[in-house]
Amino acid sequence: MQPTMLTVNDVTFTYPHAPEPLFQHVGTTFPLGWTAVLGDNGIGKSTLMSIVRGELCPDSGTVTPNPRRLVIGYCPQDIAVRPANLEDFAADWSPEAIAVRDDLQLGDDWPYAFARLSGGERKRVQIACALTLRPDVLILDEPTNHVDLSSKKALASMLAGYPGALVVVSHDEWFLRLAGFGVSEEESAA
């Protein structure tokens, strides 16, 4: 993993057949450390993360460095999405992977039973798979959906020392406060 920050420059995106852009002229930097992405449902947070990951191409604007040249760990909002590296994770018994399994309290058989896991268990496996990629940039889209309080605490604790750029898309005010974002009442009402 190389410490990396990402910069989004003047990005505009329109879905095919949409009458107008979802967003226009977005610019931001995701520095080393935690960045929270907040906003109302439907404004394009997950779409922006797809652009940041290089999965979608914007109508105009750039993301630098090129996300296709980076290792990007991604935990999707949708718990039904099977991690692309699930089989690799299942076979990974390195000390780092064992530490992630222990920190997130994963059962040894969970990677083999992904389709039968509860929502919270799936979310924890998705996060573990993203972390064990040793990503330059880690993007967690609603990482606390479906998980219990002890899992939220464990996640915040294990991510505290993450050395790369960590982008958290979340509506979970408690988790964001725990992570040190200090979300105010005005921000949480937006």
Strand partners, 74: 139
pLDDT in tens, 144-158: 888 888 888 888 888
Residue 3 — pLDDT band, cuts 50, 70, 90?
low
Q: What is the pLDDT of residue 108?
A: 93
Please name the fold of domain 6-179. Answer: Rossmann fold (3.40.50)
pLDDT digits (tens, 9 = 90+) for 66-119: 888 889 999 999 999 999 999 999 999 999 999 999 989 999 999 999 999 999
Q: Which pair of tokens denotes residue 141? A: 């889209």
